[in-house]
Structure formats: C-alpha cells, structure tokens
Copies of this chain bind each other. A is one copy, B any other.
Amino acid sequence: MRIPIRVSLDHPEPLYHQIKTQLRALIMSGQLEQGMLLPSIRELANDLSCSVITIRRVYQDLENEGLLKTRQGTGTFVAHIEQDEKEKHKLEAVIRAMEEAIKIARQHQYDDEEIQKLFIQCLSKRERED
C-alpha cells in the first residue's frame, strides 16, 4: 500500500516532523489499521525523496509514542491504540491548527466576522490534489 504523505521542502518545519505528524494523523484517524505492515524505511524514503535515516527517525519516534511496533529484519507495524485515545488526539490536533489560523488572522488585524467569512470561503473552494 502507498502511504498518502506530502512534504514540502521550503516549509520551515523540519522534514522528519512533517512526516511524523502526517503519519500520526493517518494512524489516529483509523486510515491505517492495527497490525498493518508499513512500507519499509527504504521504500517510504524513496517515495518521499528523502533519506532512509529521516524515515527511520520517524518510525522510531512513533514507536516510542506507542503508535508503531518494529521488528528488525521483518518490518514496522501499526500498534493497537484505544479508541478514546484516537478521538482525543484527532480533536486536539484539529483544534490546535484552527487556533493557530485564528491567531495569525488576528495578528493581521482581521475582526472575527471577517475571519469567519474568509474561512468559509476557503472551505468551500475545495482544491484537487494531484
């Protein structure tokens, strides 16, 4: 299976962090099921055009968080996570992102009415992913 992760190099956020955040989202949202075998570090590194070491760091970090199980020579698997924990993570991640957007809008002196209007515009013009 091909993992739908997108990274951007001109982003200020470190590469390993972008990948880690997106992979965590895929697991916590249930798009990757418990027990599933992930692509090998080499395969994913090749997909994302980055180094094997970067992917390894991501897998290792997520294993330390309890989201993955890795066995040398065999591969890396999605661990079991309680449904409660998944729901909690999802909501927190989304709210954090929204509060960040609101913070930036307010920094630019937009008032709440304008912010809401702009957001609904952004939401309705759905762009395609290629």
Contacts and interface: CB of A to CB of B under 8 A. Distances in A.
Of residues A13, A17, A104, which shows the largest number of chain B Cβ atoms within 10 Å of its Cβ?
A: A104
Q: Does more than half of chain A's interface fall in helix, strand or loop, or is it mixed?
A: helix
Interface residues of A, number: 37
Given A12-B13, A13-B12, A108 B122 contact: no
A51 B114 CA distance: 37
Given A30-B109, A109-B30, A123-B115, A93 B102 contact: no
Given A12-B14, A109-B31, A122 B98 contact: yes
Interface in A13-28: 13-14, 17, 22, 25-26, 28
A120 B102 CA distance: 10
